[in-house]
Amino acid sequence: MSTLSVQQPKGEASSRPTIYVVDDEPLMLNLTEMALASGGWNLRSFTDPEKALAALAAADPKPKLLITDHIMTGLNGLELAEQCRRLFPPLKVIVVSGSADEDVIGQASTVLDGFVPKPYRAQELLSLVSSILAESDEPHSGR
């Protein structure tokens, strides 16, 4: 597990959303971290989905977003998303995958807020993350 945090002026760290990034391939995890680094978010990275789940359970404050690979050893990305949402229903979830079946992802649309097929451009991921985090900060309109 690694934690990457962009340097922030004192007192601003708590105002930055925390994002959990989970991928059992360290190289892909590193690439995702690099893609997100310019966003200014607090990133916590995990190569083990079980450790990410345990960290979420213990976290205070909770992260705003989970970005997870789909095909992983142990829990897959959808299973991880479902278990994380049971612990913390407001959590937003993005799955990234180069091999996920679109039907499987479609069936999981109640758990996911976004899907990004691999390979992806860093700007694609940044845009989706920014959009999802902006939506989560908007007051609920009672829909």
Q: Within a domain: residue 85?
A: yes
Average per-residue pLDDT for the chain:
85
Cα separation, 86 vs 129, whole angstroms: 21
Q: Within a domain: residue 140?
A: no
Q: Within a domain: residue 104?
A: yes
> What's the confidence (pLDDT) of residue 99?
78
Q: Within a domain: residue 143?
A: no
Cα separation, 90 vs 88, whole angstroms: 6
Domain containing 28 equals 2-6+14-135
CATH number at residue 73: 3.40.50.2300
Q: Within a domain: residue 91?
A: yes
Q: Within a domain: residue 18?
A: yes
Which residues are CB-contacts of 33 (< 8 A; sequence separation ≥ 6)?
Answer: 2, 4, 21, 43, 45
> What's the confidence (pLDDT) of residue 110?
76
**pTM, rounded to two decimals:** 0.85
> What's the confidence (pLDDT) of residue 141?
42
> What's the confidence (pLDDT) of residue 100?
65
Q: Domain tally for the chain?
A: 1
Q: Within a domain: residue 141?
A: no
Q: Give the pLDDT mean for 56-63.
A: 97
Q: Within a domain: residue 142?
A: no
